Amino acid sequence: MRISELAERSGSSIATVKFYIREGMLPRGEVTSATSAEYGDDHLARLRLISALTDVRGLPLGRVKEILALIDEPDLDPVAVLGRAIGALPPYVNGDRDEYPRAQAVIEALGLTYDPAFSAVPQLEDAIRALEHAGLDTTPGTLRRYADAMRAVALEEVGPLSEMSLPRAISYSVLGTALYEPLMLALRRLAHQHLLSEGTAHRPRRS
Amino acid sequence: MRISELAERSGSSIATVKFYIREGMLPRGEVTSATSAEYGDDHLARLRLISALTDVRGLPLGRVKEILALIDEPDLDPVAVLGRAIGALPPYVNGDRDEYPRAQAVIEALGLTYDPAFSAVPQLEDAIRALEHAGLDTTPGTLRRYADAMRAVALEEVGPLSEMSLPRAISYSVLGTALYEPLMLALRRLAHQHLLSEGTAHRPRRS
Protein backbone atom coordinates (compact mmCIF):
# COMPACT_ATOMS: atom_id res chain seq x y z
CA MET A 1 0.00 0.00 0.00
CA ARG A 2 1.03 3.64 -0.46
CA ILE A 3 1.81 5.88 2.50
CA SER A 4 -1.57 7.57 2.15
CA GLU A 5 -3.41 4.27 2.55
CA LEU A 6 -1.13 3.25 5.41
CA ALA A 7 -1.90 6.51 7.20
CA GLU A 8 -5.62 6.20 6.64
CA ARG A 9 -5.83 2.58 7.78
CA SER A 10 -3.76 3.28 10.88
CA GLY A 11 -5.71 6.39 11.81
CA SER A 12 -2.56 8.53 11.78
CA SER A 13 -1.80 11.48 9.53
CA ILE A 14 0.81 11.17 6.75
CA ALA A 15 2.95 13.70 8.62
CA THR A 16 2.84 11.50 11.73
CA VAL A 17 3.82 8.40 9.73
CA LYS A 18 6.76 10.30 8.25
CA PHE A 19 7.76 11.47 11.72
CA TYR A 20 7.87 7.89 13.02
CA ILE A 21 10.01 6.89 10.03
CA ARG A 22 12.44 9.76 10.66
CA GLU A 23 12.62 8.78 14.35
CA GLY A 24 13.56 5.23 13.34
CA MET A 25 10.43 3.79 14.93
CA LEU A 26 8.90 2.59 11.67
CA PRO A 27 10.98 1.02 8.87
CA ARG A 28 11.01 2.79 5.50
CA GLY A 29 8.80 1.31 2.82
CA GLU A 30 10.16 -0.47 -0.23
CA VAL A 31 11.04 2.24 -2.73
CA THR A 32 9.08 1.74 -5.96
CA SER A 33 9.86 5.01 -7.75
CA ALA A 34 11.53 8.33 -7.12
CA THR A 35 8.48 9.60 -5.29
CA SER A 36 6.76 6.59 -3.79
CA ALA A 37 7.28 3.59 -1.57
CA GLU A 38 5.26 0.51 -0.79
CA TYR A 39 4.21 -0.46 2.76
CA GLY A 40 2.99 -3.81 4.03
CA ASP A 41 0.93 -5.30 6.83
CA ASP A 42 3.96 -5.31 9.15
CA HIS A 43 4.14 -1.53 8.84
CA LEU A 44 0.44 -1.27 9.61
CA ALA A 45 0.68 -3.53 12.69
CA ARG A 46 3.65 -1.58 14.02
CA LEU A 47 1.96 1.73 13.40
CA ARG A 48 -1.11 0.53 15.30
CA LEU A 49 1.10 -0.52 18.20
CA ILE A 50 2.82 2.87 18.27
CA SER A 51 -0.51 4.66 18.01
CA ALA A 52 -2.10 2.61 20.83
CA LEU A 53 0.81 3.39 23.13
CA THR A 54 1.19 7.08 22.32
CA ASP A 55 -2.31 8.26 21.46
CA VAL A 56 -4.39 5.98 23.67
CA ARG A 57 -2.19 5.36 26.71
CA GLY A 58 -0.12 8.54 26.41
CA LEU A 59 3.33 6.93 26.68
CA PRO A 60 6.33 9.23 26.24
CA LEU A 61 8.13 8.60 22.95
CA GLY A 62 11.20 7.29 24.80
CA ARG A 63 9.16 4.52 26.41
CA VAL A 64 7.67 3.50 23.07
CA LYS A 65 11.16 3.32 21.61
CA GLU A 66 12.26 1.02 24.47
CA ILE A 67 9.44 -1.37 23.60
CA LEU A 68 10.22 -1.25 19.87
CA ALA A 69 13.91 -1.93 20.57
CA LEU A 70 12.96 -5.06 22.53
CA ILE A 71 10.75 -6.22 19.64
CA ASP A 72 13.57 -5.65 17.16
CA GLU A 73 16.27 -7.32 19.26
CA PRO A 74 14.72 -9.60 21.83
CA ASP A 75 18.08 -11.09 22.80
CA LEU A 76 17.14 -11.93 26.36
CA ASP A 77 15.29 -14.66 28.17
CA PRO A 78 11.58 -14.48 27.11
CA VAL A 79 10.32 -13.82 30.63
CA ALA A 80 12.90 -11.06 31.15
CA VAL A 81 12.21 -9.39 27.82
CA LEU A 82 8.44 -9.46 28.36
CA GLY A 83 8.97 -8.05 31.86
CA ARG A 84 11.06 -5.21 30.52
CA ALA A 85 8.54 -4.40 27.81
CA ILE A 86 5.67 -4.30 30.32
CA GLY A 87 7.88 -2.13 32.54
CA ALA A 88 7.80 0.57 29.86
CA LEU A 89 4.06 0.97 30.47
CA PRO A 90 2.62 3.29 33.12
CA PRO A 91 2.25 3.70 36.05
CA TYR A 92 5.82 4.92 36.53
CA VAL A 93 6.83 4.47 40.15
CA ASN A 94 10.24 4.54 41.78
CA GLY A 95 11.66 1.07 41.20
CA ASP A 96 15.12 1.70 42.60
CA ARG A 97 14.42 0.75 46.18
CA ASP A 98 16.23 -2.10 47.89
CA GLU A 99 13.21 -3.71 49.44
CA TYR A 100 9.51 -4.02 48.82
CA PRO A 101 8.41 -5.60 52.10
CA ARG A 102 4.65 -5.35 51.64
CA ALA A 103 4.76 -6.59 48.05
CA GLN A 104 7.15 -9.39 48.89
CA ALA A 105 4.98 -10.64 51.76
CA VAL A 106 1.84 -10.58 49.63
CA ILE A 107 3.46 -12.16 46.58
CA GLU A 108 4.92 -14.96 48.68
CA ALA A 109 1.66 -15.52 50.56
CA LEU A 110 -0.12 -15.81 47.21
CA GLY A 111 2.41 -18.28 45.89
CA LEU A 112 3.43 -15.94 43.05
CA THR A 113 6.96 -15.30 41.80
CA TYR A 114 8.83 -12.48 43.59
CA ASP A 115 11.30 -10.72 41.30
CA PRO A 116 12.07 -7.17 42.51
CA ALA A 117 13.33 -6.24 39.03
CA PHE A 118 9.81 -6.59 37.64
CA SER A 119 8.04 -3.22 37.57
CA ALA A 120 4.77 -4.57 38.99
CA VAL A 121 6.53 -5.24 42.32
CA PRO A 122 7.11 -1.56 43.23
CA GLN A 123 3.66 -0.82 41.78
CA LEU A 124 2.14 -3.37 44.17
CA GLU A 125 4.19 -2.01 47.08
CA ASP A 126 2.91 1.51 46.45
CA ALA A 127 -0.67 0.31 45.95
CA ILE A 128 -0.69 -1.57 49.28
CA ARG A 129 0.93 1.32 51.13
CA ALA A 130 -1.69 3.72 49.74
CA LEU A 131 -4.50 1.40 50.84
CA GLU A 132 -3.02 1.06 54.34
CA HIS A 133 -2.57 4.79 54.61
CA ALA A 134 -6.17 5.42 53.65
CA GLY A 135 -7.34 2.85 56.20
CA LEU A 136 -8.71 0.41 53.61
CA ASP A 137 -8.73 -3.36 53.97
CA THR A 138 -5.45 -5.07 53.10
CA THR A 139 -6.02 -8.30 55.01
CA PRO A 140 -4.77 -11.47 53.30
CA GLY A 141 -8.28 -12.70 52.47
CA THR A 142 -9.16 -9.47 50.66
CA LEU A 143 -5.92 -9.32 48.71
CA ARG A 144 -6.36 -12.97 47.74
CA ARG A 145 -9.81 -12.20 46.34
CA TYR A 146 -8.32 -9.63 43.98
CA ALA A 147 -5.40 -11.87 43.14
CA ASP A 148 -7.67 -14.82 42.33
CA ALA A 149 -9.78 -12.70 39.99
CA MET A 150 -6.66 -11.39 38.24
CA ARG A 151 -5.12 -14.85 37.99
CA ALA A 152 -8.25 -16.17 36.28
CA VAL A 153 -8.13 -13.29 33.80
CA ALA A 154 -4.37 -13.67 33.25
CA LEU A 155 -4.57 -17.41 32.64
CA GLU A 156 -6.78 -16.88 29.59
CA GLU A 157 -4.60 -14.02 28.38
CA VAL A 158 -1.28 -15.88 28.37
CA GLY A 159 -2.78 -18.86 26.53
CA PRO A 160 -1.99 -17.65 23.00
CA LEU A 161 1.64 -16.76 23.85
CA SER A 162 3.01 -20.27 23.33
CA GLU A 163 2.02 -20.09 19.64
CA MET A 164 3.89 -16.84 19.07
CA SER A 165 7.41 -15.80 18.16
CA LEU A 166 9.00 -13.61 20.82
CA PRO A 167 8.70 -10.32 18.86
CA ARG A 168 5.01 -11.05 18.23
CA ALA A 169 4.56 -12.01 21.90
CA ILE A 170 6.06 -8.71 23.07
CA SER A 171 3.67 -6.73 20.91
CA TYR A 172 0.70 -8.87 22.05
CA SER A 173 1.63 -8.56 25.75
CA VAL A 174 2.22 -4.84 25.65
CA LEU A 175 -0.96 -4.11 23.70
CA GLY A 176 -3.00 -6.53 25.80
CA THR A 177 -1.77 -5.07 29.06
CA ALA A 178 -2.17 -1.47 27.92
CA LEU A 179 -5.58 -1.79 26.33
CA TYR A 180 -7.49 -4.34 28.43
CA GLU A 181 -6.61 -2.45 31.65
CA PRO A 182 -8.95 0.48 30.88
CA LEU A 183 -11.61 -2.00 29.75
CA MET A 184 -11.47 -3.91 33.04
CA LEU A 185 -11.59 -0.77 35.14
CA ALA A 186 -14.59 0.59 33.24
CA LEU A 187 -16.36 -2.78 33.61
CA ARG A 188 -15.68 -2.81 37.37
CA ARG A 189 -17.20 0.65 37.77
CA LEU A 190 -20.19 -0.38 35.64
CA ALA A 191 -20.67 -3.49 37.78
CA HIS A 192 -20.76 -1.32 40.91
CA GLN A 193 -23.29 0.99 39.34
CA HIS A 194 -25.43 -1.92 38.14
CA LEU A 195 -25.43 -3.60 41.56
CA LEU A 196 -26.56 -0.33 43.15
CA SER A 197 -29.14 0.34 40.43
CA GLU A 198 -30.81 -3.04 40.28
CA GLY A 199 -32.12 -3.00 43.82
CA THR A 200 -31.80 -1.37 47.17
CA ALA A 201 -29.86 -4.20 48.85
CA HIS A 202 -26.49 -2.51 48.48
CA ARG A 203 -27.56 1.09 48.77
CA PRO A 204 -26.25 3.31 51.52
CA ARG A 205 -28.74 4.77 53.96
CA ARG A 206 -30.07 8.20 53.05
CA SER A 207 -28.37 10.54 55.47
CA MET B 1 -5.30 16.39 68.59
CA ARG B 2 -3.21 19.44 67.71
CA ILE B 3 -2.51 20.38 64.09
CA SER B 4 1.03 18.98 64.39
CA GLU B 5 -0.29 15.54 65.35
CA LEU B 6 -2.97 15.71 62.66
CA ALA B 7 -0.31 16.49 60.07
CA GLU B 8 1.96 13.72 61.25
CA ARG B 9 -0.75 11.06 61.38
CA SER B 10 -2.03 12.02 57.94
CA GLY B 11 1.42 12.10 56.37
CA SER B 12 0.94 15.72 55.21
CA SER B 13 2.95 18.75 56.26
CA ILE B 14 1.44 21.38 58.55
CA ALA B 15 1.63 23.86 55.66
CA THR B 16 -0.39 21.48 53.49
CA VAL B 17 -3.02 21.02 56.20
CA LYS B 18 -3.31 24.80 56.53
CA PHE B 19 -3.61 25.11 52.76
CA TYR B 20 -6.54 22.66 52.69
CA ILE B 21 -8.24 24.63 55.49
CA ARG B 22 -7.80 27.92 53.60
CA GLU B 23 -9.20 26.29 50.45
CA GLY B 24 -12.30 25.20 52.39
CA MET B 25 -11.55 21.52 51.83
CA LEU B 26 -10.96 20.74 55.50
CA PRO B 27 -13.05 22.28 58.33
CA ARG B 28 -11.27 24.41 60.89
CA GLY B 29 -10.50 22.76 64.21
CA GLU B 30 -12.25 23.71 67.42
CA VAL B 31 -10.46 26.77 68.77
CA THR B 32 -9.06 26.06 72.24
CA SER B 33 -6.87 29.13 72.75
CA ALA B 34 -5.60 32.13 70.83
CA THR B 35 -2.93 30.02 69.16
CA SER B 36 -4.26 26.49 69.00
CA ALA B 37 -7.18 24.40 67.81
CA GLU B 38 -8.25 20.84 68.37
CA TYR B 39 -8.82 18.36 65.52
CA GLY B 40 -10.68 15.06 65.59
CA ASP B 41 -10.87 11.75 63.75
CA ASP B 42 -13.20 13.25 61.14
CA HIS B 43 -10.46 15.69 60.20
CA LEU B 44 -7.97 12.86 59.95
CA ALA B 45 -10.26 10.72 57.77
CA ARG B 46 -10.95 13.63 55.46
CA LEU B 47 -7.30 14.52 55.21
CA ARG B 48 -6.46 10.94 54.28
CA LEU B 49 -9.13 11.02 51.58
CA ILE B 50 -7.75 14.28 50.15
CA SER B 51 -4.20 12.93 50.33
CA ALA B 52 -5.11 9.64 48.59
CA LEU B 53 -6.78 11.52 45.76
CA THR B 54 -4.18 14.23 45.26
CA ASP B 55 -0.88 12.62 46.20
CA VAL B 56 -1.54 9.00 45.19
CA ARG B 57 -3.90 9.31 42.22
CA GLY B 58 -2.86 12.80 41.16
CA LEU B 59 -6.35 14.31 40.91
CA PRO B 60 -6.55 18.04 40.13
CA LEU B 61 -7.72 20.06 43.15
CA GLY B 62 -10.96 20.96 41.37
CA ARG B 63 -11.91 17.30 41.07
CA VAL B 64 -11.19 16.68 44.75
CA LYS B 65 -13.39 19.64 45.64
CA GLU B 66 -16.23 18.17 43.54
CA ILE B 67 -16.03 14.96 45.55
CA LEU B 68 -15.88 16.82 48.87
CA ALA B 69 -18.91 18.91 47.88
CA LEU B 70 -20.89 15.73 47.21
CA ILE B 71 -19.88 14.34 50.61
CA ASP B 72 -20.92 17.56 52.33
CA GLU B 73 -24.23 17.91 50.52
CA PRO B 74 -25.31 14.58 49.07
CA ASP B 75 -28.77 15.89 48.15
CA LEU B 76 -29.30 13.54 45.23
CA ASP B 77 -30.38 9.99 44.71
CA PRO B 78 -27.67 7.68 46.19
CA VAL B 79 -26.89 6.00 42.86
CA ALA B 80 -26.61 9.36 41.11
CA VAL B 81 -24.42 10.92 43.80
CA LEU B 82 -22.08 7.92 43.87
CA GLY B 83 -21.91 8.00 40.07
CA ARG B 84 -20.98 11.67 40.10
CA ALA B 85 -18.31 11.15 42.74
CA ILE B 86 -16.75 8.27 40.79
CA GLY B 87 -16.92 10.46 37.68
CA ALA B 88 -14.46 12.86 39.33
CA LEU B 89 -11.80 10.13 39.19
CA PRO B 90 -9.54 9.58 36.16
CA PRO B 91 -9.43 8.60 33.36
CA TYR B 92 -10.93 11.80 31.98
CA VAL B 93 -12.48 11.12 28.60
CA ASN B 94 -14.90 13.17 26.57
CA GLY B 95 -18.31 12.36 28.00
CA ASP B 96 -20.33 14.85 25.97
CA ARG B 97 -21.12 12.62 23.05
CA ASP B 98 -24.68 11.73 22.09
CA GLU B 99 -24.11 8.04 21.60
CA TYR B 100 -21.83 5.31 22.83
CA PRO B 101 -22.78 2.52 20.44
CA ARG B 102 -20.04 0.02 21.38
CA ALA B 103 -20.49 0.51 25.10
CA GLN B 104 -24.26 0.38 24.85
CA ALA B 105 -24.21 -2.88 22.90
CA VAL B 106 -21.79 -4.50 25.34
CA ILE B 107 -23.57 -3.23 28.46
CA GLU B 108 -26.91 -4.48 27.18
CA ALA B 109 -25.46 -7.84 26.10
CA LEU B 110 -24.00 -8.25 29.58
CA GLY B 111 -27.31 -7.39 31.24
CA LEU B 112 -25.82 -4.35 32.98
CA THR B 113 -27.48 -0.96 33.41
CA TYR B 114 -26.87 1.52 30.56
CA ASP B 115 -26.83 5.13 31.76
CA PRO B 116 -24.89 7.37 29.36
CA ALA B 117 -24.53 9.99 32.12
CA PHE B 118 -22.24 7.62 34.06
CA SER B 119 -18.58 8.31 33.31
CA ALA B 120 -17.66 4.65 32.92
CA VAL B 121 -19.80 4.48 29.76
CA PRO B 122 -17.60 6.80 27.63
CA GLN B 123 -14.57 5.13 29.25
CA LEU B 124 -15.83 1.74 28.07
CA GLU B 125 -16.61 3.11 24.61
CA ASP B 126 -13.06 4.44 24.25
CA ALA B 127 -11.53 1.25 25.64
CA ILE B 128 -13.40 -0.95 23.15
CA ARG B 129 -12.60 1.36 20.24
CA ALA B 130 -8.90 1.28 21.15
CA LEU B 131 -8.95 -2.53 21.29
CA GLU B 132 -10.69 -2.74 17.91
CA HIS B 133 -8.26 -0.30 16.39
CA ALA B 134 -5.28 -2.30 17.63
CA GLY B 135 -6.81 -5.49 16.23
CA LEU B 136 -7.35 -7.10 19.66
CA ASP B 137 -10.17 -9.46 20.54
CA THR B 138 -13.47 -7.75 21.41
CA THR B 139 -15.76 -10.70 20.75
CA PRO B 140 -18.67 -11.09 23.19
CA GLY B 141 -17.15 -14.15 24.89
CA THR B 142 -13.93 -12.33 25.67
CA LEU B 143 -15.64 -9.20 26.96
CA ARG B 144 -17.91 -11.37 29.10
CA ARG B 145 -14.88 -13.02 30.68
CA TYR B 146 -13.58 -9.64 31.84
CA ALA B 147 -17.03 -8.51 32.91
CA ASP B 148 -17.61 -11.68 34.96
CA ALA B 149 -14.30 -11.25 36.79
CA MET B 150 -15.10 -7.60 37.52
CA ARG B 151 -18.64 -8.42 38.64
CA ALA B 152 -17.33 -10.96 41.15
CA VAL B 153 -14.89 -8.37 42.51
CA ALA B 154 -17.55 -5.64 42.58
CA LEU B 155 -20.11 -7.79 44.39
CA GLU B 156 -17.80 -8.13 47.39
CA GLU B 157 -16.94 -4.45 47.28
CA VAL B 158 -20.48 -3.08 47.39
CA GLY B 159 -21.43 -5.35 50.31
CA PRO B 160 -20.50 -2.91 53.08
CA LEU B 161 -22.36 0.02 51.45
CA SER B 162 -25.78 -0.86 52.88
CA GLU B 163 -24.44 -0.29 56.41
CA MET B 164 -23.16 3.19 55.63
CA SER B 165 -24.57 6.70 55.63
CA LEU B 166 -24.40 8.32 52.20
CA PRO B 167 -21.46 10.65 53.01
CA ARG B 168 -19.49 7.70 54.38
CA ALA B 169 -20.47 5.62 51.32
CA ILE B 170 -19.18 8.29 48.94
CA SER B 171 -15.82 8.38 50.67
CA TYR B 172 -15.63 4.56 50.74
CA SER B 173 -16.57 4.24 47.06
CA VAL B 174 -14.18 6.90 45.84
CA LEU B 175 -11.26 5.60 47.90
CA GLY B 176 -12.02 1.99 47.04
CA THR B 177 -12.25 2.71 43.33
CA ALA B 178 -9.16 4.91 43.29
CA LEU B 179 -6.91 2.69 45.41
CA TYR B 180 -7.88 -0.89 44.53
CA GLU B 181 -7.53 -0.17 40.80
CA PRO B 182 -3.70 0.08 40.93
CA LEU B 183 -3.64 -3.00 43.17
CA MET B 184 -5.63 -5.07 40.70
CA LEU B 185 -3.56 -3.98 37.74
CA ALA B 186 -0.29 -4.81 39.53
CA LEU B 187 -1.68 -8.21 40.52
CA ARG B 188 -2.71 -8.94 36.93
CA ARG B 189 0.78 -8.16 35.66
CA LEU B 190 2.30 -10.29 38.43
CA ALA B 191 -0.01 -13.17 37.52
CA HIS B 192 1.18 -12.96 33.89
CA GLN B 193 4.79 -12.98 35.00
CA HIS B 194 4.22 -15.88 37.37
CA LEU B 195 2.46 -17.97 34.73
CA LEU B 196 5.39 -17.40 32.36
CA SER B 197 7.98 -18.04 35.08
CA GLU B 198 6.58 -21.21 36.56
CA GLY B 199 6.92 -23.29 33.42
CA THR B 200 7.40 -23.17 29.72
CA ALA B 201 3.79 -23.95 28.80
CA HIS B 202 2.88 -20.35 28.08
CA ARG B 203 6.22 -19.12 26.81
CA PRO B 204 6.62 -17.73 23.34
CA ARG B 205 8.97 -19.53 20.97
CA ARG B 206 12.50 -18.19 20.93
CA SER B 207 12.78 -16.34 17.66
CA distance B95 to chain A (A): 13
Task: Judge whether residue B199 has pLDDT over 90.
Answer: no
**Cβ atoms within 10 Å, residue B116:** 16
pLDDT at B77: 87
**Cβ atoms within 10 Å, residue B54:** 18
Q: Could you tell me if A140 lies within 8 Å of chain B, comparing CB atoms?
A: no
Q: Do A149 and B153 touch (CB under 8 A)?
A: yes
Enter the DSSP assignment of B165: B
pLDDT tens-digit series, residues B88-104: 999 999 988 989 999 99
SS3 readout for A55-94? HHCCCCHHHHHHHHHHHHCCCCCHHHHHHHHHHCCCCCCC
pLDDT tens-digit series, residues A6-42: 999 998 999 999 999 999 999 999 999 988 899 999 9
Given a contact cutoff of 8 angstroms between Cβ atoms, the answer to whether B122 and B93 are in contact is yes
Task: Judge whether residue B207 has pLDDT over 60.
Answer: no
User: Which residue, A148, A184, A102, is CA-closest to B187?
Assistant: A148
- Positive or negative, the CA dihedral A155, A161, A167, A171 is negative
Cα distance between residue B200 and residue B108, in whole Å: 39
Integer CA distances (angstroms), A95 to A76, A115, B13, in order: 20, 12, 25
- pTM of whole model > 0.80? yes
User: Which residue, A70, A20, A62, is CA-closest to A43?
Assistant: A20
pLDDT at A35: 86
CA distance B6 to chain A (A): 14
Amino acid at residue number B57: R
pLDDT tens-digit series, residues A126-162: 999 999 999 999 999 999 999 999 999 999 999 999 8
Q: Do A198 and B166 touch (CB under 8 A)?
A: no
**Cβ atoms within 10 Å, residue B19:** 14
**Cβ atoms within 10 Å, residue A148:** 16
**Cβ atoms within 10 Å, residue B202:** 21
Cα distance between residue A146 and residue B150, in whole Å: 10
Instruction: Please compute Rg for chain B using Cα positions.
Output: 21
Contacts of A133 (CB under 8 A, 6+ apart): B11, B48, B51, B52
Quickly list DSSP for B8-27: HHHT--HHHHHHHHHTTSSP
CA distance A22 to chain B (A): 23
ipTM of the prediction: 0.93
Q: Could you tell me if B130 lies within 8 Å of chain A, comparing CB atoms?
A: yes
Q: Could you tell me if B77 lies within 8 Å of chain A, comparing CB atoms?
A: no
Number of residues assigned to chain A: 207
Mean pLDDT for all residues in chain A: 93
Q: Could you tell me if A7 lies within 8 Å of chain B, comparing CB atoms?
A: no
The mean per-residue pLDDT over the stretch A67-94 comes to 91
Question: Residue B73: pLDDT band by 50, 70, 90 thresholds?
Answer: confident
Q: Could you tell me if B191 lies within 8 Å of chain A, comparing CB atoms?
A: yes
Q: Could you tell me if A82 lies within 8 Å of chain B, comparing CB atoms?
A: yes
